[in-house]
Amino acid sequence: MALTREHFSLNTLQWITVGLGDATGEPGEVGWEFDLSTFLPKQPRILDQVREAGYGGVMLEVLPTQTLQSYARVVADSGLRLSPGYVHIGLPEEFGRDHSGDREAHFRWFDGIRRRAEETLFMGLDRVFLAADMAPGRPRIDVAAAVGHEFDRDRLDRVANIIGEASEVLTAEGVTPALHNHVGTWIETEAEYDHVLQAVPSSLLAAGPDIGHLAWTGVDVVAWVAAHAGRISDLHVKDMDLGIAAASRATHTPYFDVMGQRFFLEPGLGDVPIAEALAQLPGDFAGDVIIEVDKPSMEPFESAKASWAWIAENYPEAS
Phi, psi of 14 (to 5 degrees): -50, -40
Phi, psi of 148 (to 5 degrees): 70, 35
Q: Are 187 and 131 in contact (CB under 8 A)?
A: yes
Q: Are 193 and 221 in contact (CB under 8 A)?
A: no
Q: Where are the beta strands (DSSP E) in 16-120?
A: 57-59, 81-83, 85-89
Q: What is the pLDDT of residue 18?
A: 55
Q: What is the pLDDT of residue 19?
A: 52
Q: Exposure pattern of 12-31 as b/e (b: 16+ CB <10 Å)?
A: bbbbbbbbeeeeeeeeebbe
Q: Measure the CA–CA gap between 151 and 215, rounded to whole angstroms.
A: 19
Which residues, including other chains, have CB under 8 Å from residue 250's CB and lie 6 or more apart?
Answer: none
In this prediction, the residues of the chain whose per-residue pLDDT falls under 50 are 20-30
> HEC profile for 103-144?
HHHHHHCCHHHHHHHHHHHHCCCCEEEEEECCCCCCHHHHCC
Sign (positive or negative) of CA dihedral 36, 42, 43, 46: negative
In order of 133, 135, 218, the CA distances from 89 in angstroms are: 5, 11, 25
Between strands 264-265 and 239-240, the pairing is: antiparallel
Q: What is the pLDDT of residue 20?
A: 40
- What is the end-to-end Cα distance of the chain in Å, rounded? 10
Q: What is the pLDDT of residue 30?
A: 45
pLDDT tens, residue by residue, 157-207: 999 999 999 999 999 999 999 999 999 999 999 999 999 999 999 999 999
Q: What is the pLDDT of residue 16?
A: 84
Using alpha carbons, select from 192, 159, 150, 167 the residue that is nearest to residue 93.
Answer: 159
